[in-house]
Amino acid sequence: MLYQGPLPAPYPTLTDDELVERIQKLKQELGSQCVILAHHYQRPEIVALSDYRGDSLQLARFAAQNSQSQYVVFCGVHFMAETADILKTGQQVVVLPDLGAGCDLADAADADDVAMAWDDAVGMLGHDDIMPITYVNSTAALKSFVASHHGVVCTSSNADKIVNYALKNHKVLFFYPDEHLGRNTSKKLGVPLSQMRLWDPKKPQGGLLPSDLENVRVLLWKGCCPVHQMFTVKQIDHIRTKDPEFKIISHPECSMEVVDKSDMSGSTDFIVRTIAQSSPGSKWAVGTELNLVNRIAKENSDKTVVSLNPFMCLCGTMNRIDLKHLCWALDQIKLGTPQNVISVGDPDRSLAKKALSRMLEMS
Ligand code: SF4
């Protein structure tokens, strides 16, 4: 994770009202020169000031199609800003308002560790008919590695399609960096657990023996999202005992046990649409990031929407983007000295673009 020092005066002492007023004025002055994108997990006040909000796939598509604005202010985490920079079609400058907005899941798979594991896996399997797939929540360097081994990126919206393609066309798939999304998706597509193996990068040869890889179809990199890891089967049991009318809907970054026990599971966009389309009066306990759950609850006031975990925390890194940082980032753009510019250099840029474009074509 990168680090950003404290903001200069006057930002730390401005009130929220002053900051909102200043941001709105800056937005007017910058006009179409600047677009503000916000991920669904952002704070409500940031989403309210954004021009476009969405999940990873929607924001990736937007970055690929938008060439009008000179500046893209990305209110999300570092790998998302990298993705926007890689997919942009013009000379836009992508700015992340706080460099500390990283992602623990993306940090779980270092591209050099993945490259070493790949060589080990090829040696242990005795063949290289392996398709690498990385979840979009990964560094540009890992996306680049995946492209250089004829692999592809996926999101939670299109993981079914992409994993299915890999299973049909290759002997083995190696899924990074989220073991839960890899396991949940492969299981849904009919791969038994006995044909999946967890690759622990902290152990020599992933903690596996060549004999463990006989009949293996799916290798799962040991990594997870600390936010989605917090949901448990016990919470599901508790809510169902209290009120059996509650339907449980979870994100596939949750553990297999939680996904299996949920009534349904799917991407952020799936969760938003499913609850929006449900009948008035319905009750939902949601296993995903809290800012999003609170927003869904607000936008569906005719339904009951709660977090599956009553003691849930926000995603700490997403939450780093606040009014102060957004205001500072826009001021710097207005002054002609944009800060925190996210720019991916070659060869990672062109290779990662290949893996991302392939994903967009396959989605
Ligand atoms: S919720 Fe999890 S996967 Fe998403 S940005 Fe936060 S740490 Fe990363």
User: Is 332 found in the same domain as 290?
Assistant: no
Assign 68 a pLDDT band (cuts: 50, 70, 90). Answer: confident
User: Is 124 found in the same domain as 91?
Assistant: no
User: Is 120 found in the same domain as 92?
Assistant: no
User: Is 271 found in the same domain as 299?
Assistant: yes
Of the CA atoms within 13 Å of residue 169, those in its CB half-sphere come to: 10
User: Is 214 found in the same domain as 259?
Assistant: no
User: Is 239 found in the same domain as 194?
Assistant: no
User: Is 88 found in the same domain as 58?
Assistant: yes
User: Is 111 found in the same domain as 59?
Assistant: no
Predicted pLDDT of residue 56: 78
363: in domain: no
Asked which of 224, 241, 257 is the last residue of a domain, the reply is 224
Predicted pLDDT of residue 311: 87
Contact (CB, 8 A) for 322 and 91: no
Asked which of 190, 207, 224 is the last residue of a domain, the reply is 224
Greater model confidence, 228 or 56? 228
Alpha-carbon distance of 260 to 351, in angstroms, equals 36
What digits encode the pLDDT tens for the residues 324-337? 999 999 999 999 99
Question: Given a cut of 80, is residue 57 above it in pLDDT?
Answer: no
Mean local confidence (pLDDT), 233-245:
98
**Max mean pLDDT range (61-65, 334-338, 359-363):** 334-338
155 lines ligand 1 (CB under 6 A): no
Assign 134 a pLDDT band (cuts: 50, 70, 90). Answer: very high
> Atom 6 in ligand 1: which residue has the minimum CA distance?
315
Q: With the CA atoms of 143, 149, 153 and 158 taken in that order, what torsion angle do they form, in degrees rounded to the nearest 10?
A: -170
User: Is 217 found in the same domain as 110?
Assistant: yes
Alpha-carbon distance of 293 to 304, in angstroms, equals 11
Question: How far does residue 193's CA lie from ligand 1's centre (Å)?
Answer: 25
Assign 60 a pLDDT band (cuts: 50, 70, 90). Answer: confident
356: in domain: no
Predicted pLDDT of residue 1: 66
Question: How far does residue 125's CA lie from ligand 1's centre (Å)?
Answer: 32
Mean local confidence (pLDDT), 165-176:
98
Mean local confidence (pLDDT), 92-112:
96
Domain span including residue 162: 106-224
224 lines ligand 1 (CB under 6 A): no
Q: Which of 46, 106, 362, 102 lies closest to 253, judged by CA?
A: 106
77 lines ligand 1 (CB under 6 A): yes
358: in domain: no
Predicted pLDDT of residue 139: 97
Mutate to test the pocket of ligand 1, among 289, 309, 314 (most ligand atoms within 8 A of CB): 289
Question: How far does residue 177's CA lie from ligand 1's centre (Å)?
Answer: 12
**Which atom of ligand 1 is closest in space to residue 316's alpha carbon?**
6
What digits encode the pLDDT tens for the residues 245-296? 999 999 999 999 999 999 999 999 999 999 999 999 999 999 999 999 999 9
What digits encode the pLDDT tens for the residues 176-198? 999 999 999 999 999 999 999 99
Predicted pLDDT of residue 89: 85
Predicted pLDDT of residue 55: 86
134 lines ligand 1 (CB under 6 A): no
Question: How far does residue 210's CA lie from ligand 1's centre (Å)?
Answer: 33
Question: Given a cut of 70, is residue 210 above it in pLDDT?
Answer: yes
**Which atom of ligand 1 is closest in space to residue 178's alpha carbon?**
3
Question: How far does residue 137's CA lie from ligand 1's centre (Å)?
Answer: 8
60: in domain: yes
SS (H, E, C) the chain: CCCCCCCCCCHHHCCHHHHHHHHHHHHHHHHHHEEEEEECCCCHHHHHHCCEEECHHHHHHHHHHCCCCCEEEEECCHHHHHHHHHHCCCCCEEECCCCCCCCHHHHCCCHHHHHHHHHHHHHHHCCCCEEEEEECCCCHHHHHHHHHCCCEEECCCCHHHHHHHHHHHCCEEEEECCHHHHHHHHHHCCCCHHHEEEECCCCHHHHCCHHHHCCCCEEEECCCCCCHHHCCHHHHHHHHHHCCCEEEEECCCCCHHHHHHCCEECCHHHHHHHHHCCCCCCEEEEECCHHHHHHHHHHCCCCEEEECCCCCCCCCCHHHCCHHHHHHHHHHHHCCCCCCECCCCCCHHHHHHHHHHHHHHHC
> Atom 3 in ligand 1: which residue has the minimum CA distance?
225
285: in domain: yes
Question: Given a cut of 70, is residue 51 above it in pLDDT?
Answer: yes
Alpha-carbon distance of 34 to 352, in angstroms, equals 25
362: in domain: no
61: in domain: yes
User: Is 99 found in the same domain as 111?
Assistant: no
Assign 312 a pLDDT band (cuts: 50, 70, 90). Answer: confident
Q: In this structure, which amino acid lies at residue 114?
A: V
User: Is 212 found in the same domain as 115?
Assistant: yes
137 lines ligand 1 (CB under 6 A): yes
User: Is 338 found in the same domain as 266?
Assistant: no
Q: What is the percent of the chain where pLDDT is above 70?
A: 100
Structural domains of the chain, count: 3
318 lines ligand 1 (CB under 6 A): yes
What CATH number is attached to the domain comprising 139? 3.40.50.10800
177: in domain: yes
Asked which of 178, 200, 224 is the last residue of a domain, the reply is 224
What digits encode the pLDDT tens for the residues 144-165? 999 999 999 999 999 999 999 9
290 lines ligand 1 (CB under 6 A): no
Q: What is the overall mean pLDDT for the chain? A: 96
Predicted pLDDT of residue 189: 98
Alpha-carbon distance of 24 to 30, in angstroms, equals 10
